[in-house]
Structure 1
Amino acid sequence: MSNLSDFVHHHFDKPADELGDVEKRVLAKAHQRKVISTDVNAALSAESSFGERIADGIARVGGSWSFILAFLAFLAVWTLMNTIGLVAHPFDPYPFIFLNLILSMIAAIQAPIIMMSQNRQAERDRFEAAKDYEVNLKAELEVLSLHQKIDMSVLTELTALREDVARLSAELAAKG
């Protein structure tokens, strides 16, 4: 197999121009004996914008137990301050209209930010799946190449053994 087209024909039984871009890239890496990079974080971090990194950070904090517990503590303090008179004049008496306004604004801002982060996670998952496919395809090609090498080695040994048997049979026939 001296060139890539022989390699493609031998492993796929079709011409190289019928292969997809991913398959061509993987075949080129396999033929050149190069490793396929699977560092998803480095590849996606290089492409992410400042806003996307902020959205990921907000989603990471907003989806943590520390945030939930801190926010519950904030709500408890707010409620206690405005109901049992921890302050002389409650600034948001029951039914806590100002608190409801704050919670609505937080939800209105936080929901799209978390959705942005989820979209980026879905993109990361698709990218990772594509990389996994490339690695698996390359591994399959390597296994096929190894099978071919072993088959060729066995055939060479069998040919040598046949020649040895024929030579020994001829020697025995000549002596007998």
Structure 2
Amino acid sequence: MNRDTNKLLQSESEQLKKLQQIVKKSIEDEDLIIQNLLNPPKDILSRGQKISDKVARFGGSWAFIISFFVILILWILFNSLAPTKADFDPYPFILMNLILSCIAALQAPIIMMSQNRQEEKDRKRSENDYLINLKAELEIRALNQKIDLLLEEQIKVLFDSQAKQLEILKSIEKKLTNNK
């Protein structure tokens, strides 16, 4: 019995060592992912990038649309109703068209710069999502390894106990046949 107990204790010890190795490996695998998620690279914005963000934020707002519409109405009303000497842009409003074209020509690339920066932020977010999914996959893999190890050990114990039961049955059978 002492030999069997030592064997069982040794088996349990080996099983615990294997489980510890699985846990250690999964922690090492996850460490890099966690570091990347906790310490994302800082966004260092240049002055131009900050300005393009502000222009894009204002250019895509209702405040811009309403204020621009009000300015255009005032421009048209003043140049249509003012005396001939006071109007600076008479009817076909060539100066107004020139200003609108210039605003559109300048505003479009500035908004595109801001959108490119936003696209870069979205790409970084998707990389973080990928890392989180990878971390979950590693955890699932480690859990599967632990379950496989536990099942393997349980099957060994079951076979060992069946072998012992078989030996006991054989010894009982021997005693019965000797007694007859």
Query: Under a length normalisation based on structure 2, what TM-score does the superposition of the two structures give?
Result: 0.69
Deviation readout 1:25-68 (Å, 9 max, x if unpaired):
xx9552x486254479x7353x2222112211211111122322
Match of 1:140 among 137, 142, 158: 137
Match of 2:78 among 78, 81, 95: 81
2:101 is aligned to: 104
Query: What RMSD in Å do the two structures reach over aligned CA positions?
Result: 3.0
Structure 2 residue 116 is the aligned partner of structure 1 residue 116: no
Query: Under a length normalisation based on structure 1, what TM-score does the superposition of the two structures give?
Result: 0.70
For residues 175 and 33 of structure 1, the distance between their equivalents in structure 2, rounded to whole angstroms, comes to 60
2:41 is aligned to: 43
By percentage of residues, which structure has more helix? 2
1:24-63 → structure 2 map (5 Å cutoff): 29-30=29-30, 32=31, 35-38=34-37, 43-45=41-43, 47-63=44-60
- For structure 2, which runs of at least 5 residues remain unmatched after alignment? 1-17, 174-180
Structure 2 residue 131 is the aligned partner of structure 1 residue 131: no
Kindly indicate whether structure 1 or structure 2 has the higher relative contact order, using CA contacts under 8 Å at least 6 residues apart.
2
3-state SS of 1:43 partner: coil
**Aligned structure 1 segments of 4 or more residues deviating by more than 3 angstroms:** 36-40
1:66 is aligned to: 63
The alignment of Structure 1 onto Structure 2 pairs a total of residues equal to: 151
The answer as to whether partners of 1:36 and 1:135 remain within 8 angstroms in 2 is no
How much identity, in percent, do the aligned residues show? 43
Please state how far the C-alpha of 1:140 moved relative to its aligned partner: 1.6
3-state SS of 1:82 partner: helix
For residues 173 and 153 of structure 1, the distance between their equivalents in structure 2, rounded to whole angstroms, comes to 30
